[in-house]
């Protein structure tokens, strides 16, 4: 018999699985991936990439807390040679 907590946990697991599947679909054609951000989600993403045999395209995983969009752009510009026009719209 399932408890209400089990049902909530199962829904969360399903939601996260769908989310990571969507992210993986965007990363599957990449030559390399630099994963950064706060918390443990980046580690779960790394595990999912490895399970899908995409782990060899990970350059590095870096913990960075409380980033503004400006901070993110600075990190990208320093790591990659991005032109402003090549940065995704949500990040300008």
So what's the pLDDT on residue 49? 82
So what's the pLDDT on residue 89? 46
So what's the pLDDT on residue 90? 40
Helices (H), the chain: 4-27, 41-51, 69-79
CB 57 within 8 A of CB 49: yes
Q: List the CATH number of the domain containing 85.
A: 3.30.420
Please count the other Cβ atoms lying within 10 Å of the Cβ belonging to residue 15.
Answer: 10
Please count the other Cβ atoms lying within 10 Å of the Cβ belonging to residue 26.
Answer: 8
User: In whole angstroms, how far apart are CA 32 and each of 2, 10, 15, 59?
Assistant: 42, 32, 26, 6
Domain that holds residue 78: 4-91
Which pLDDT tens digit goes with each residue over 36-89?
A: 777 888 888 888 888 887 777 777 787 877 777 777 777 766 666 655 545 454
So what's the pLDDT on residue 79? 64
So what's the pLDDT on residue 26? 83
Domain count of the fold of the chain: 1
So what's the pLDDT on residue 54? 74
């Amino acid at each position: 018999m399932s408890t209400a907590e089990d049902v909530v946990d199962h829904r969360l697991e399903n939601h996260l699985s769908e989310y990571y599947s969507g992210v993986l679909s965007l990363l599957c054609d990449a030559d390399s991936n630099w994963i950064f951000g706060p918390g443990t989600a980046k580690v779960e993403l790394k595990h999912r990439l490895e399970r899908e045999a995409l782990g060899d395209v990970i350059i590095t995983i870096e913990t960075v807390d409380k980033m503004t969009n400006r901070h993110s752009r600075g990190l990208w510009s320093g790591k990659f040679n991005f032109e402003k026009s090549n940065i995704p719209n949500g990040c300008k």
